[in-house]
Amino acid sequence: MSNNKIKKIGVLTSGGDAPGMNAAIRAVVRSCAFNNLLCDGIYRGYEGLMEGDFEPLNARSVKNLISRGGTFLKSARSAEFRTKKGRELAHQHLLKASIDGLVVIGGDGTFRGAMAFGEEFHFPIIGIPGTIDNDINGTDFTIGYDTALNTVVGAIDKIRDTAHSHNRLFLVEVMGRDSGDIALSAGIGAGAEIILIPEQNLGKERLIESLKRSKNSGKTSSIIVVSEGDKVGKNIYQIADYIENTLTGYDVRVTVLGHVQRGGSPSCRDRVFASRLGVNAIDAIIRGEHGVMIGVQNSKVVSVPFSEAVKGDNKIDKELIRVADITSI
């Protein structure tokens, strides 16, 4: 489909919500209006796409959205869209609604679905990375990551107050099943003594040695930030039990921050970032691009093929690991 046939764009959010998704939707809709294109919002991600749950949007439809967390279009994970039958149903609804191109906002699973759909039906699709985990290949950051970091650091600051008051060791679990970006950056920002991430298996013995060094240096309370995908123990509670059973004199507590990390009003950085990606997504469709994610590398907007974005080889910043090691002594 050539770019001169693009008259109407559909936009949806899929997978886990992230602060800043609304800002991205707003930018997509207003960029459509600026370029004299029609825009339909698609509710509940790929589920809504298969059910034809569409609503026309204009510049006024998205007023006062930029400061709101979550996604007003709702989000859902869809097993049916993974089947060819489900994708065929979605394609029929797009044709019926005269939608010529699609912008999908989400993470790895969202892009895999978009890649399969685009290849099967030769349909123009552009992706915008929206996930707090910051685990998408080909972009330095994802929408929601900065806000999540601020939420985590704020929570750990409060936990440190009570840890210091009672001479306690707190283990704080943060999101990041396969990526330690949140744990590493938030751990540095909050001054954690130890950071456990899936990309670097510290091991139980080194964990205990590190805690011994902290105690010998005069520290009476400590914070350990644990990414949910860390491999030291089966879960954070097992790690806590191991520490209590191995070391004497530690009063150990566990805090799992959970879904609070996904909520809240997006930071200014996430609002600007999401707006930038939304505008550039429509620019890409108008240029005739498809099957790509709009990301940022070294402060420049880039188009990254879905096949690259979903590779799953997002590397942890080794310099940050060194910074964490040095500043936690």
The tens place of each residue's pLDDT in the chain, 329 residues long, gives 445 589 999 999 999 999 999 999 999 999 999 999 999 999 999 999 999 999 999 999 999 999 999 999 999 888 899 999 999 999 999 999 999 999 999 999 999 999 999 999 999 999 999 999 999 999 999 999 999 999 999 999 999 999 989 989 999 999 988 889 999 999 999 999 999 998 887 777 888 888 888 877 777 788 999 999 877 777 899 999 999 888 887 899 999 999 999 999 999 999 999 999 999 999 999 999 999 999 999 999 999 999 999 987 667 888 999 999 899 87
Q: Which of 58, 42, 56, 53 is nearest to 104 (CA)?
A: 42
Biggest CA pair distance of the chain: 71
Q: Which two tokens stand for residue 100?
A: 């010529």
CATH topology of domain 3-144+266-309: Rossmann fold (3.40.50)
Q: How many residues does the structure list for the chain?
A: 329
Asked if 13 contacts 75 with a C-beta cutoff of 8 angstroms, the reply is yes
Q: What angle do CA 41, 44, 50 make, to 5 degrees?
A: 85
Q: Residues of CATH 3.40.50.450 domain(s) within the chain?
A: 3-144+266-309
> CA 86, CA 303: separation in Å to the nearest integer?
27
> CA 26, CA 34: separation in Å to the nearest integer?
12
Q: Whole-model pTM above 0.85?
A: yes
Could you list the beta-strand ranges (E) of the chain. 8-13, 38-42, 54-57, 101-106, 125-129, 169-174, 194-196, 222-227, 252-256, 292-297, 300-305
Amino acid in the structure at residue 48: G
Fill in the DSSP letter of residue 74: -
Paired sense of beta strands 222-227 and 8-13, if any: unpaired
Q: Please give the backbone phi and psi of residue 301, each rounded to the nearest 5 degrees, phi first.
A: -70, 135
Question: Which class would CATH give 145-262?
Answer: alpha beta
Q: Residues of CATH 3.40.50.460 domain(s) within the chain?
A: 145-262
Enumerate the active-site residues.
133
> CA 130, CA 318: separation in Å to the nearest integer?
24
